[in-house]
Amino acid sequence: MRQAGRYLPEFKAMRAEHDFFKVCQTPELACEITLQPIRRFELDAAIIFSDILVIPQALGLEVIMVPGKGPTFPDPINTPEDLKRLNESVDVSTSLKYVFDAITLTRHKLEGKVPLIGFAGAPWTLMGYCIEGGGSPTHAKSKRWLYAHPEESHRFLSILTRVIIDYLIQQVLAGAQLLQVFDSNAERLGYDTFMTFALPYLQQIASGVKEGLKQKGVQLVPMIVFAKGANYALKELSEIGYDVVQLSWTVRPEQARHETTDVTLQGNLDPCAMYASPDRIGELVLQMLKEFGTQKLIANLGHGVYPDFNPDHVKAFIDAVHHHSEQLNSLSEDNS
């Protein structure tokens, strides 16, 4: 969940000197930013510094990071005709080589201390960015496609899915030990549109990556799915081949446990809880761990960190997870 973010002074110093996508494209810099939170905190994993929008870039679309506005497409996809602009036959092994190099370098530098997570955006979320031209409060332009151009929407989602599968497989070959798929815009959909335009592609990604790795004789890695806010489809999300389902803070742990079968859950404290005092953060962590239980859980926030978070409060969260889970585990051992 956005460990680097903009809340660390060492990240801000790096960004003051370099453009965001330049950092993504420079393995030494991406590696350095990935390691920053690992040096500062007792985290249990690292996530490679990159962005979900490198895939639209690889498909030939321009994406820039505008200060104060976020990622922006100067020339977004407007009509189905525009799909012709996509470089469908893109070879990610060359166009996204910089990500694989960053992963390999970071794996070496981590020296086995913690595992390295690779990631990609999900098809619906990437389609949304390409059509909206950036973030959007309603996603009305991209949702319009689902209703006005359903066939072309499926075509767009299929193109993205193929590239994402290839991209994730190559991240594993480069050294990624877990993979997370971010469907951050799932919260804009309802049950029917999610089941039609998002879930089938998430499923294809899980099976495509596992199949591809098997064919190459490479050991499978655990896969995490994050369909942010898709609390209406937790059962379905737990049944499409992912090992872990990440939850946003808008669902109760008990409900998520009840509705999912046989998966590990990840989450889900409200990121804004980081504005509470360190003591209060500790109490909220304890409550979260009690509600989920400490097994089959990756304790995390329910979304990424914000730029104005106090790093000491993030540390309070991480330390409280370790402290309280150790205590809860030793209590349950005493009882057994």
Nearer to ligand CP3 by C-beta: 73 or 145? Answer: 73
Q: Minimum Å distance from CB 35 to ligand CP3?
A: 11
Longest Cα pair distance anywhere in the chain, in angstroms? 65
Of the residues 7, 19, 39, 51, which is catalytic?
51
Active site annotation includes 270? no
Nearer to ligand CP3 by C-beta: 119 or 194? Answer: 119
Instruction: By CB under 6 A, name the one of 31, 53, 103, 126 that touches ligand CP3.
Output: 53
Q: Of 65-73, 143-151, 155-163, 269-277, which part binds ligand CP3 (CB under 6 A)?
A: 65-73
User: What are the strands of the beta sheet with 223-227, ordered from one edge?
Assistant: 46-47, 116-121, 178-183, 223-227, 244-246, 264-269, 297-301
Nearer to ligand CP3 by C-beta: 5 or 282? Answer: 5
> In the window 134-163, what residues touch ligand CP3 (CB under 6 A)?
135
Query: Does residue 6 bind ligand CP3 (CB under 6 A)?
Result: yes
Query: Does residue 246 bind ligand CP3 (CB under 6 A)?
Result: no
Active site annotation includes 15? yes
Query: Does residue 119 bind ligand CP3 (CB under 6 A)?
Result: yes
Cα separation values, 120 from 89, 181, 251, Å: 18, 5, 23
Q: Of 63-71, 96-104, 149-157, 200-208, which part binds ligand CP3 (CB under 6 A)?
A: 63-71
Nearer to ligand CP3 by C-beta: 53 or 172? Answer: 53
Query: Does residue 47 bind ligand CP3 (CB under 6 A)?
Result: yes
- Rounded to whole angstroms, the Cα distance separating 39 from 56 reads 32
Tell me, by CB under 6 A, how many residues bind ligand CP3. 22
Q: Minimum Å distance from CB 227 to ligand CP3?
A: 11
Instruction: By CB under 6 A, name the one of 153, 184, 238, 300 that touches ligand CP3.
Output: 184
114 sits in the region (left: phi over 0; alpha: psi -120 to 50; else beta) called beta
Nearer to ligand CP3 by C-beta: 228 or 313? Answer: 228
Beta bridge partners of 300: 268
Instruction: By CB under 6 A, name the one of 27, 71, 118, 302 that touches ligand CP3.
Output: 71
Comparing CA positions, the residue from 268, 230, 266 lying closest to residue 245 is 266
Active site annotation includes 242? no
Active site annotation includes 51? yes
Active site annotation includes 39? no
Query: Does residue 5 bind ligand CP3 (CB under 6 A)?
Result: yes
Interface with ligand CP3 (CB under 6 A)? 2-6, 15, 20, 47, 49-53, 65, 70-71, 119, 135, 182, 184, 228, 304
Q: Which residues form the catalytic set?
A: 2, 6, 15, 51, 129
